[in-house]
Structure 1
Amino acid sequence: MMRGLRVFLVIALFATCAFAQQKDTVYVASDLTGEGNLNRAIQEKIDAGTLSNTVFKLERLGYYILTGTITVPQGQHLEIVGPPVGRT
């Protein structure tokens, strides 16, 4: 009985890991020579329906000019990360 329970738990653990999705990482270039890179990257993922499965990674000490309001569709979430700035 205990052996069967252990086998079931091991199979359940591996099945959970196998079906877990990793998030897609989008590296967003800084807006040093233009503007709206972050807006465009986010809108592309909203249009594709993959916003909640995406992480937007910004450049260290990057400069980002928003060209409009970023509206996250209901039921989805937006994740933006960047490296630690450290001492400046």
Structure 2
Amino acid sequence: MSSNGEHGMLPTPDDLLSEENKVLLKRRIFALKRNALPPVTTHNMADDANDPILIRFVAYSSSIPLWIASTSYPTQTSSIPTILSWAWIMKNSSEVAT
């Protein structure tokens, strides 16, 4: 392998990975593929209505506009529903916290 680098030639994939390593790499890549959504971790808070971090976050994010058009932000059209959903969540979160 050192002779390839000395002569300015790029190593081939066969030089970099053995057959066993190729099989292991393929197995790991296929193990990461899934059709379902990724797992979600949630936390139950004892007193979320009085949590200072959540209160500050809601106060900070209450300035998010509630009506968003495709011209409001330089974004792709496909992400507009996500932004609208986020704005709805923020609107309702601020009503709960106040």
Question: Under TM normalisation by the shorter chain, which class is it?
Answer: under 0.3
User: Which structure is higher in strand share?
Assistant: 1
TM-score by length of 2: 0.21
Kindly name which structure, 1 or 2, has the bigger radius of gyration based on alpha carbons: 2
TM-score by length of 1: 0.23
Using CA pairs below 8 Å that are at least 6 residues apart, which structure has the higher relative contact order? 1
